[in-house]
Structure 1
Amino acid sequence: VKNADKDEKGMWGWGSVIHELFDTERISVENHAKAGRSARTYLDEGRWDKIYHALQPGDFVLIQFGHNDAGDINTGKARAELPGSGNESKVFKMKKTGSYQVVYSFGWYLRKFIMDVKEKGAVPIVLSHTPRNKFDNGEIERNTSSFGKWTREAAEAAGAYFIDLNKISGDKLQDMGYNQGLRVVGTYFNHDHTHTSLKGARMNARSIADGLKATDCPLKDFLK
């Protein structure tokens, strides 16, 4: 969350700490995340356009959505997409404004972002969303059959690097819960089961670095 992660005891996102893992004398890191946005609303609000117009050849773009992409499509927060990674689209009448809007699949929005990045000569890296602090019989909740699956499919279809952050961090938290207890796991979160503490944000950033090292993405060469 840009400019929001200041209180050390507050909620933090990995985008505010990932610069700690890179050689910032060789590469600069910018965080353009915005709380509460889905892939659809990030695009609709013009936030993606600002990134698109600023991109230069050789830039790297880390893309992650999923936490805010379920729920209401045309009522309430009206930020969800159609489920899946296909080419489906549907016109909805927005309850709040009375206007009509074409809504596409979750994967469609990711593929658009990926292709826009590649068009600019930059490198897209797509991440599955961070795990939630939700356990069932010792097993942490995964997104392998929903947003994680659709994120992977979009990355593969459009030719982006993919890091399964949900699995990498999920495995760490599950091991932690088994060996140290769920109370310890809770210290990696703040306020609810989704938002991370500073410690949790740093763990997720390290997981991204772990994932990068397993790819042939040139960005890994800038890690400390």
Structure 2
Amino acid sequence: MNSIHLAGDSTVAPGPLDGTGVIGWGGVLHEFMTQPVHNRAVGGATTASFEAEGRWADTLAAIKPGDLVVTQFGHNDQKETELAAAGGYRNNLARFVEQVRAAGGRPVLVTSAERCLFDDDGDLRVSHGGYPAAVRNLGDQLDVPVIDLNAFTRWLYTWLGERGCADLFPHAVPEDGERDTTHFGLAGARAVAGYVAQHLRALQGLDDQHEPIGKWGVSP
């Protein structure tokens, strides 16, 4: 059975499964997949630091032919001048894709989940600038599947509204006690992981062989 390898920042990283703290969507992805999930994401990571700390090398070393390598960065890259969306960030991701393919794996890129920040008019703010677009463009250029979590979470938060989003982000920032609008609680991680899991199933064709339900006489 092929494995799934996760590379990313705190919004992907493991966390407590009892609801007592923040947790990335990757920390609960195993609940939705039958394949083994190996999560090397870590809080504060950029594409550069993930490589410098040896986590990317560990990921490459663990790949077996056909494994999926799902990569999501951007929250922290945007804080570093040398990791501009169309510069170091894009170049690092492109190199990651090439290395995964050379190792026999199947790369999957993921855009950053949106931060849950609403303005005074109740509209969801844009917090990642050109970073999601850089991932979409790279996926198109290199023929790599892209899971657009930025688009999905923007839809999800808008649909729930600011008050409804409190269930997805129930924890406070330790430094000032304000509500953390970046890092998920358990419910938020599961909501996003469920979407990622459905996308990964689709990419692998896991549901393609079912008989179409129309065969049983269901009207459109």
Scaled to the shorter chain, the TM-score interval is 0.7 to 0.9
Distance 1:183 1:127 in 2: 27
In structure 2, what residue type is equivalent to 1:197? Answer: G
Residues in 1 aligned to 2:199 and 2:164: alpha-carbon distance in whole angstroms: 24
Match of 1:9 in 2: 20
Counterpart AA for 1:82: L
Distance (Å, rounded) in 2 between the aligned partners of 1:220 and 1:109: 30
How much does 1:13 deviate? 0.6
Query: Which residue is equivalent to 1:147?
Result: 131
Match of 1:122 in 2: 105
d(CA) in 2 for partners of 1:207 and 1:138? 25
Could you tell me how far 1:40 is from its partner in structure 2?
1.0
1:135 equivalent in structure 2? 118
5 Å matches for 1:200-219?
200-212=188-200, 217-218=203-204
The code of the aligned residue for 1:205 comes to: A
Question: TM-score under structure 1 normalisation?
Answer: 0.76
Task: Structure 1: give runs of 5+ residues left out of the alignment.
Answer: 74-80, 89-104
Secondary structure of residue in 2 paired with 1:134: coil
Question: 1:169: Cα distance to partner?
Answer: 2.0
**Which residue is 1:76 aligned to?**
none
Q: 1:194 to 1:220 in 2, by over 3 A?
A: farther
Partner of 2:214: none
1:51 aligns with 2:59: yes
Aligned-pair CA distance for 1:6: 4.1
1:47-196, aligned counterparts within 5 Å?
Answer: 47-73=55-81, 81-85=82-86, 88=87, 105-136=88-119, 137-142=121-126, 145-177=129-161, 182-189=162-169, 190-191=171-172, 192-196=180-184
| Contact kept in structure 2, 1:187 and 1:199, CA below 8 Å | yes
Number of aligned pairs?
188
- What's the C-alpha RMSD, in Å, of the aligned pairs? 2.2
| More helix as a share of residues | 2
**In 2: Cα distance, 1:45 partner to 1:113 partner:** 15
What's the CA shift string for 1:161-220, capped at 9, x where partnerless?
10111111220111110xxxx22212211331100000000011122134446x5x2175
What runs of 5+ residues in structure 2 fail to find an aligned partner? 1-9, 173-179, 209-220
Amino acid at match of 2:62: A
